[in-house]
Amino acid sequence: MSSFVPRDAETLAERARYTSDGLTTVSCLDCLVSVEVRKNTDHQTAIQWSAEAQGQCPVLSGRDSIHEGCPRLGASIDAAVREGRLPVGVAE
């Protein structure tokens, strides 16, 4: 089964906006792993984990899935928002 490979410029631009635009690097205050984060709202957070970061996180390194998340990183993201290092909302 072949997968969809976008080639249209508008589709590629939308994919870039969704996957990489507006990301801010946040480091875990416990283990110092760095991930890319975007806070679209107070309740929605997008986190881009690299394979290296997932392997270095002591909470996630033994898991097959990152969907449960890391509470230590969650606390670090909350701190970044409080300190103004991570904006909330989509920048226009």
CA distance to 7, 8, 34, per residue, from 25 (Å): 28, 29, 6
Tens of pLDDT, residue by residue over 31-64, are: 999 999 999 899 999 999 998 998 999 998 877 7
Strand partners, 88: 39
Q: Residue 14's CB: how many other CB atoms inside 10 A?
A: 13
Task: Report the pLDDT value the prediction gives residue 8, as an integer from 0 to 100.
Answer: 77
Helix (H, G, I), strand (E, B) or coil at 67: coil
Helix (H, G, I), strand (E, B) or coil at 14: helix
Q: pLDDT at residue 92 above 60?
A: no
pTM comes to 0.76
Q: pLDDT at residue 66 above 70?
A: no
